Structure 1
Amino acid sequence: MVLISAADREMTDFEMKAIGDTVQGLPVFRDFDATTLPAIASDCVGMLQNEDGLDAVLDHLAADLPAKLRETAYALACEVAAANGSVSQEVMRLLEILRHHLNIDRLIAAAIERGVRARYAHL
């Protein structure tokens, strides 16, 4: 989630609220210590500032994330991307890279993206 938020080099209040709400509200984070979130976000941003930072973060994510949670991680990344009301080209490209890195099937990713789009639709 932090990776997507930092993709356009600006972590907005909407994105941070979406991340915080997600961590507090979803069962997958039941045993997660939410007080560590700022440090984790800072570490992620720090890693991204290195020359091969994106690859390092993606490799770390793919290595540490259980296969059964990869679709969940992709869905949460899409949620954060949608939090601002529009998704930039940079963020869309990063979602594509993330999808490939996590080996998310294209049709599954499309279904996830469509579900998020429906959740964030407004008049």
Structure 2
Amino acid sequence: MTEPLNHHAALIYVMVTMSAVDRTMNDAELARIGEIVSNLPVFDDFDQEDLVATAEACGNILSDDGGLQRVLRLIKEGLPKKLRETAYAVALEVAAADLDVRPEETRLIELLRDTLDLDQITTAAIERGIRARNMVL
């Protein structure tokens, strides 16, 4: 039985799951995860040496039958309510990292929104902000 995730691990699980959902974890997505962990204030007290082990733990769960549902449950249980919007935003950042949001990623975004009980107005605002931040000509 996996012990409850802390908020750092829950956020990392969100990002790893988003990266892995289309069965490929590309360099752009992995780099974005590293940038997020290095730069977001919520990770200021996180030991970055733990990033790979945390990502691998998530990958191990995802590879099991029913792994996605289990990871989503662990994420919800490990996140304080005030970090649910942050989790949604980092998921979108990883999805946008390669500038190609695939249908599998869109479906995971929907599952995450529902799992975290986020309302449409909030998610639309976060989505618009991420879209603007990642816009290219």
With normalisation by structure 1, the TM-score equals: 0.98
- Selected match of 1:34 from 38, 48, 54: 48
Q: Once the 2 structures are TM-superposed, how far is the Cα of residue 3 of structure 1 from its aligned partner?
A: 0.8
Q: Residues 84-123 of structure 1 correspond to what in structure 2 (within 5 A)?
A: 84-123=98-137
State the one-letter code of the partner of 1:115: G
**Number of residue-to-residue matches in the alignment:** 123
Q: Residues 23-62 of structure 1 correspond to what in structure 2 (within 5 A)?
A: 23-62=37-76
CA displacement 1:62-84 (0-9 Å, x = unmatched)? 00110000000100100000000
C-alpha distance in 2 between matches for 1:3 and 1:106: 22
Q: Report percent identity of matched pairs.
A: 51
- Selected match of 2:84 from 46, 60, 70: 70
Please list every run of 5 or more consecutive structure 2 residues that lacks an aligned counterpart in the other structure. Answer: 1-14
**Which aligned runs of 4 or more in structure 1 are off by greater than 2 angstroms?**
none
- Selected match of 1:4 from 6, 18, 33: 18
C-alpha distance in 1 between matches for 2:52 and 2:71: 16
State the one-letter code of the partner of 1:106: Q
CA root-mean-square deviation = 0.6
With normalisation by structure 2, the TM-score equals: 0.88
- Selected match of 1:14 from 28, 48, 53: 28
C-alpha distance in 1 between matches for 2:101 and 2:54: 23
C-alpha distance in 2 between matches for 1:35 and 1:11: 20
Secondary structure of 1:85's counterpart equals coil
C-alpha distance in 2 between matches for 1:32 and 1:4: 20
